[in-house]
Structure 1
Amino acid sequence: MPRRVDLTKLRAAAAAQHATFTCRQAAQHGVTHRVLERLTALGEIERQHRGVHRFTAIPLTRSAEIAAAVLAGGPDAVASHDTSLELHGLRKAWPGAPIEICSPTTWHPEVTGIHVHRTRRLESRDITTVDGIRATNGARTLVDLASRYERVALTRLVDDAICWGVAKRNAVYRRSCALRNGRRGVGLLVTLTDPDAEAVFRSWLERLAWSVFDRHGVAQPLWNVPRHDAEGLIGIVDCLWPDLPLVVELEGLRFHTSPQQRRDDARRFNRLGAGARVLRFTWQDVVEMPERMCGQILAALNG
């Protein structure tokens, strides 16, 4: 290797991209195609995709594979869909999981082994950087995945994304409204994140719970009943079987409540427990595990 070839700047650029770099970046730092061929022959670098290499001194990681795919997709490409979900920490990759990138339709990259999505709308507001890799942000990722997940799974994903700070509720709502035309499933995102969604969701959850109780032989309770103690009104409980008394509280989406509301709910739960047996169930219990929920309620009613 000629002494005059200095790889310091190229190594620094690659270090910010999980040891990957493009031929264009190499040229910008004075490293020619012939030098790249020599480095490849020496085993110092290896080809990842057309026009993309990596320094082999750094172990190949999943992040490096994603970074290389995004670089191969062109200057405007980003990690997207389930790969973006993976980068944001909302999904674990399995061995051999495909890498998905998104690129504007003005660019037509052919990246072997990579799923390239085309889009006419990929705005700067939809893009972020995660672990040094350009990716769709949380809100855009949810919009892109809305058609891929069934309703319960998508609802769970939205709840997790907002609660874990991957996406902001108002951002999901705005982008869903803007991009919903022709996109299956995005209407559910609008419904879940609408400013008035709490009341609608709770009403739906109560109707579903009523039907679940009826289907599993649970005597119908009194609904939305005020409960008091020596201090006064504790609050309105979702379900009350007054003879025991047994209270069942149904919890909606986590992002529909603020931290202060959750603290207030904890205090309310403690006050309720002083004068009744209280069971709490999440919306997922009602939707996904109704038999187990009803079994616990029946055990409490018959015990």
Structure 2
Amino acid sequence: MAAAQHGQVNVWQAADIGITHDHLRRAVRAGELQRVRPAVYRFAAVPVDWRTELHADTLSAPKGAFAAQSAALRLHRIEHPLLPYRRELLKLGTGLVHVDDAVVVHRTRRLDPQDVREVNGIPATSLARTLVDLCRGLAWWDLVDVADRAICEWPSARATVHRTAVRLRRGRHGVQQLADVTAPNAEAVFRSWLERQAAPLVRRAGITDARWNVTIPGLAGAGLVDTHSSAHGLVVEWKGLAFHRRPHQLQRDSDKQNVAASRGLVTLSFTWQDVVSRPEHVIGVLVTATRRRAA
């Protein structure tokens, strides 16, 4: 048992196999065990890292707890600057969790078995449930960014994330947005939304002849570009979510921009994050490009 738990056992598991508190205390005095949490013991020879410590936290409740939110995200190999790692647990119900104040314990009244799993042997919320739980504390564009990174890392998880978000969206802030961006038809919907957000920025940059989703003969990918200004010799591509794009689409877009540049067109590219969080930057780049072209 301990071998599968990073060399650790809690007092309730020990009792189930006939090991008493006295046995555990004697093992500590003999140097065989270390008491690492009020209810968790670890074999002294076990090497310790963040996973070992997190696993000890999950063992600190009578019926167990699960690594959650930023801790689960790290287990699933997802990094995000707004979500630095901290020891976070999800506990079903109101039972005690014997951990120190550095551990954040979240509680839930419902935890479906399909929403938890073992990751590197550590009980944790699934990737889908982790994203759902993160919705409450993030602005929607930051949530979408986290989901984008997660599904790029685990492409096969998209359908599960969508189903989980649909199942758990009632009464949970932000979960509908997670369901929307992972839906089967999300690519077209998100692109339409992105163009509506970008259009005012183009106008504010003084570009009044912009045409959207137009064909320029001779370009790769059938010559279809997101935005074209013939007066300024300008082509702009607006990049949506990374997991919405396939490798062949990335290659096509690259070829298209290279051909456009070789024909003397100014080619620019902005991400959806630019449009949402850096609109003045987008406007500034557009203005600079048109002025240089005019000169």
TM-score normalized by structure 1? 0.84
Check whether the contact 1:20–1:52 (CA below 8 A) recurs between aligned residues.
yes
Check whether the contact 2:228–2:236 (CA below 8 A) recurs between aligned residues.
yes
Check whether the contact 2:240–2:271 (CA below 8 A) recurs between aligned residues.
yes
Aligned equivalent of 2:180, options 180, 191, 212: 191
Check whether the contact 1:128–1:135 (CA below 8 A) recurs between aligned residues.
yes
* Rounded Cα–Cα distance in structure 2 between residues aligned with 1:28 and 1:73: 15
Corresponding residue number in structure 1 for 2:277: 288
Partner AA of 2:164 in structure 1: R
Corresponding residue number in structure 2 for 1:123: 112
C-alpha spacing 1:146/1:166, structure 2 compared with 1 (3 Å): farther
Q: Alignment partner of 2:226: what SS?
A: strand
CA-to-aligned-CA distance 1:229-264 (integer Å, 9 cap, x gap)? 188x73321111213421010010111122333333
Q: How much does 1:23 deviate?
A: 2.7
Corresponding residue number in structure 1 for 2:10: 22
Partner AA of 2:154 in structure 1: G
CA-to-aligned-CA distance 1:94-113 (integer Å, 9 cap, x gap)? 9x9642222322x6133233
C-alpha spacing 1:230/1:189, structure 2 compared with 1 (3 Å): closer
Percent identity between matched residues is 38
Corresponding residue number in structure 1 for 2:25: 37
Check whether the contact 1:51–1:72 (CA below 8 A) recurs between aligned residues.
yes
Partner AA of 1:219 in structure 2: I
Q: Alignment partner of 2:166: what SS?
A: helix
Q: Where does the alignment leave 5 or more consecutive residues of structure 2 unmatched?
A: none
- Is 2:91 aligned against 1:110? no
Partner AA of 1:108 in structure 2: G
Q: How much does 1:168 deviate?
A: 1.4
- Is 2:244 aligned against 1:272? no
Number of aligned residues: 287
- Trace 1:233-244 onto structure 2 (pairs within 5 A): 234-244=222-232
- Trace 1:209-248 onto structure 2 (pairs within 5 A): 209-215=198-204, 217-220=205-208, 221-229=210-218, 234-248=222-236
- Is 2:78 aligned against 1:90? yes
Aligned equivalent of 1:60, options 34, 42, 48: 48
Corresponding residue number in structure 1 for 2:196: 207
Mean Cα deviation higher: 109-118 or 129-138? 109-118
Q: How much does 1:150 deviate?
A: 0.6
Aligned equivalent of 1:170, options 154, 159, 174: 159
Check whether the contact 1:88–1:130 (CA below 8 A) recurs between aligned residues.
yes
Corresponding residue number in structure 2 for 1:72: 60
Q: How much does 1:28 deviate?
A: 5.8
Q: How much does 1:148 deviate?
A: 0.9
Q: Where does the alignment leave 5 or more consecutive residues of structure 1 unmatched?
A: 1-12
RMSD of aligned Cα (Å): 2.7
